[in-house]
Structure 1
Amino acid sequence: MSAAEMRQELAGGLIVASRTGAVGHVLFNRPEKRNAMSLAMWQGLTDALAQLAADDAVRVVVLSGAGDRAFVSGADISEFESQRASEAAIADYNRVSEGADRALWAFPKPTIAMIRGFCVGGGMGLALACDMRIAAEDARLGITAARMGLGYGVEGIRKLVDLVGPSVAAEVMFTASLFPAAEARAMGLVNRVVPVEALAATVDELAGRIAGNAPLTVTAAKAAIRPGSDVAAVEALVKACYDSADYAEGRRAFMEKRAPVFRGV
């Protein structure tokens, strides 16, 4: 493996973190279970995100599911009797799973959910925690908690409301429906819907375009876009852009009519 590449298997290989060039990847690698999230996978996701956040070469991260049936079909229901049957077990499960969700939401670099097939429940929560969602035409998205009697906390619901508004969020939660990709796009749940055969190329092009831009500018923009942004913290990030060598490089490249080469400093 070259210096431009990295690959790390976590949770017994069910979570794979990798990097090619400046693009990091998180693969939910359980296709026989439609990439349903086990407790070990939630912890593995947290660990994968920590590795990619610490890798200075990574400028954008793509999350995807193995196989062609699902992004993530939700939590692994077969674990519920052992992992979510008592108050103490539920608290422990929520600590790990919500910790992973928070790690993704707080991830400092741009994130893209590449969605094929089912994106349900906890999978929908993961997609909502990403900055962008690109879906194939075969995608089906929804939160089916009301069919299971599960309770959703404020953090998860708030992400949905911030994205699509209270009325659409109510439809998603109250009906527990699975929405086809085109309908999900009209509702604002996803950024784009593309043919299945074009999904990987579309996401690759988008990730490459982001990776080629000034990292400090992108980081500052992400911090400002997030609801409840700390104004002082964002202003400090903006100041860092103007103080950077990349700002000088951007000006020179513009004057010299060439593509800039940004280093994130």
Structure 2
Amino acid sequence: MNRKSCPDEYPINLSVNGYEIAVFQLTKSDLEDWAYGYLFSEGMIESADDIEEVAFHEGTATLQVTLANPFDGEKLFSKKKHYTAGCGRGVTFFSMTDVKQFEKIRSNQRYPLSYLLKKRAEFAQCSTLYLETGGMHGACIIDAEGLMTVREDIGRHNAVDKIIGFCVRNRLNPEKLILLTTGRVSYEMLSKAAKFGFAVIGSRTAATKQAVQLAKYLNIEVVGYLRGKMAVIYTSAGRVHSDLRETAAAEVYGEEGIGGAVHQLALD
């Protein structure tokens, strides 16, 4: 398949009230959403009202954020940094211990697994940057009416921050939303979703053992390998029920397992 162009990535400096947080490799689309999402995910803001202005300065490749209230940069920088794994490498100031202090999810929403598979297929068709370049990650939300909003970036963490930023800016209720991502669900990805309050997270690939453990602790449903006619439900929060044929969990997890099961579409 011939692609029209290569995926873009740029080193962009994030500055908050004059404090340089870090330089991030980002795709230059929806940067304002990314700023809101990253700052919210890292606990630097609590709502959209905390931000007065976001301005991107092309010449210095700086994303300048002005907060409504004073920003204690020294306190933030005194915390230990954790560098994220994978493409578009970023930095988080939350450890697994910190994430365990987040509020547990109470949503009563329920979805059939076939619905998530259908929406995952739609997500793929709506990922325009990926279709153009073949080298982008994506994240999307699905609302109660089934409407989808997609954000894309060279990095999976960045894509999730962008969609969270969209949610924060539009003051959306996380309990009514499904989060889908193309990337592996690691503990940092899980922490971002948990901070906003998503009850259901789906991915086209795997979740790490640490992410699944955190998801169980925080009562979040995680579904992986949403591909074509199969999926893996890693958790048991009861929000995603299988209307597919189930096969042995040992096929994926071996003898020990981590509590998931493989589900496949029943064949006529």
TM-score w.r.t. structure 1 length?
0.24
Select the structure that is richer in strand.
Answer: 2
Higher relative contact order (CA 8 A, sep 6+): 2
Select the structure that is richer in helix.
Answer: 1
TM-score w.r.t. structure 2 length?
0.24
